A and B are shown apart, each in its own frame.
Chain A
C-alpha cells in the first residue's frame, strides 16, 4: 500500500512524523545538558561543565532525603500493587461472578478520575485515619493509583496463556495450586514483573496526590521539586529533573525488555 503513495506525499508524512518525534522528546531533554552547567544560572548551551549541582542535590538534606523517601515509597508500592494487581487480574479475567464488568471498571477507574479529586479525597480521609504525611499513607495512595497498570499487564499476558497446558497438568494429577505455581505463574511472570516496574514508575513520578499527602517532615523528590520550581531558579532543579528522568527511563526500558520475554503470542 505504501508503494501506491506518490513520493512527495510520503516524504511530507515522514517529515511531519519527524517533527512530532522532536516535539515529543527534545523539549524534555534540554534539561539534561543544562543540569551539567558550571554557572549559577540555567543557560543553554550550558556554560562550562561541572557536577556541582548534582553534588548539591546529594549533599542538601532536603533533596537527598526526598530521594530516599521516593525510592522507599516506590519500591513498597511496586510490591504491594504487583500482588493486588495480579490477584485482581486473575479474579476478573478467569473469575465468573455477577458484577464482573463493574469490577473491571472500578479497577481501572483510578486512571480516569481527575487526580486532584483523588488527592483531596485521600487527604481528608487519611488525616482522620492518621496516615497522612507518612510513608504508609503515601504507599496506600500510590498503590491505588498503580494497581490498574499491573492489572492491564497481567490481564494481557493471562489472555495469551493456553488453557490446555493447565488442563494437561491437572489431568496428570496436579492440584489447582500446583498447576498455578508450576504452569500459569511462569507463563504470566513477564506481565507480572512488567506491571510491577510500571507501578514503580507510577509512584516514583507521582506529584499531585503526593503534594497533599506529604508533610514538611516527609517529602518525596517530585514534591520537593514542585515546591522549589515555583520559587528558585537554581540549576539543582535541573539535576533533580535529570535524575527523575534517568531512573524512569531505566526502569521503563527494563519493563519493555521483561515484557518481550513473554511467550510467543
Chain B
C-alpha cells in the first residue's frame, strides 16, 4: 500500500491510484465497439419506422399488437425454463458426485464438463442434427432394425431443441453448483450423521440447503443464457419452437425491418436485465460469474 501513489482520504483507502490508468484503453475500446452498438440498437427502436410516424413508441405498439410476437416471447421463456429444469436435474447430481469422489476423478469429471463447454456450439448443434434427423443415426438404426416403419420426428421438435440446448448449457449449471459444494465443510454432514441422521436425511437437511446458493446461481446463468439462444433452435426446432433471437435475425436479415428487429432486441435486453436484477436479490451474482473462473 505504501508504494501506491494517490491521495488517501481519512479513514479509507486511496480513491484513485495509478494502476487505474491501465484500465482506460480497454474501457475506451469496449465503449466504442460494444456499448455504442448497443446504444445504437436501442435508438433505432424509436427512430426506424417502416412508415413515417410521429409516435416514437410505434414499434413497441407494433410488437405488442401482434399475437405471433407475443407467442414467440412466451415460447422463449418456456424453452429457457425447460432447459433450466433439465440442466438442474442432470447438473445437481453430477456436481454432487464431483464433490464426493477422490480429487483425481473429480478432475476428470471437470474436464468432461470443460471440453464441451469450450467446443463450438455450431458443431455440437450440427452433431445433434446428424443424430436426430429423419435420415439420421437414430432413425436409420430403428428403420434398419424394423422397429419402426417410418422415421419418427426427432428433429424439428421441442425435444430436439431441449436435447441440444441442455447439453450446451449443462456446464453453466454444474460449475456454480460445484464451486459452492466444494466449500461446504464435510464436518457438517458428518456431525449430522454422528447425531443419528440417516445418510439421506443428513443430505437433505444439511448438505442440500448449504448448496442452494450454487443451485440458484446455476439456474440464473442457464436461464439468462438460454433466453438468447439462436443457432440451436434454428437448426433443431420447428417454426413452433421459434425463439426471439431468431425473430430478431429474420426481421433484420430477411425483412430488413430494423424498427421491429431493434425493438425486439431492446425487449430481449430488458427481459435479461430484469431477470438479473430480480435474481440479484436472492443470488450473489459473484457466485454465478465467479465460478466461471474455473472454466
- State whether these chains interact: yes
Q: Which residue of B38, B167, B193 is within 8 Å of A24 (Cβ)?
A: B167
Select the stretch in A55-63, A71-79, A245-253 that faces chain B: A245-253
- Interface membership of B195, Cβ < 8 A: no
Find chain B residues with CB under 8 A from A187 CB: none
Q: Which residue of A24, A85, A167, A205 is within 8 Å of B112 (Cβ)?
A: A24
Contact A97 B16 (CB under 8 A): yes
Contact A112 B123 (CB under 8 A): no
Find chain B residues with CB under 8 A from A198 CB: 118
- Interface membership of A2, Cβ < 8 A: yes
Q: Which of B120-148 contact A (CB under 8 A)?
A: 120-124, 126-131, 135, 137, 140
Q: How many residues of B contact A (CB 8 A)?
A: 91
- Interface membership of B17, Cβ < 8 A: yes
Would you give the shortest CB distance from B107 to chain A, in whole angstroms?
10
Bound form: Cα–Cα A182–B209 in Å: 47
Contact A122-B122, Cβ < 8 Å, known A13-B97, A113-B272 = no
Find chain A residues with CB under 8 A from B90 CB: 20, 23
Contact A120 B118 (CB under 8 A): no
Q: How large is the interface on A (under 10, 10 to 19, 20 to 34, 35 or more residues)?
A: 35 or more
Contact B41 A222 (CB under 8 A): no
Contact A91-B29, Cβ < 8 Å, known A27-B167, A44-B137, A44-B140 = no
Contact B127 A17 (CB under 8 A): no
- Interface membership of B293, Cβ < 8 A: yes
Select the stretch in B60-68, B211-219, B261-269 that faces chain A: B261-269
Residues of B within 8 A of A (CB): 2-4, 6, 13-17, 19-27, 29-30, 33-38, 40-41, 44, 90, 93-94, 96-97, 100-101, 109, 111-116, 118-124, 126-131, 135, 137, 140, 163, 167, 170-171, 186, 189-190, 193, 199, 224-225, 227-228, 230-231, 235, 245, 248-249, 252-253, 258, 261-262, 265, 268-269, 272, 276, 289, 292-293
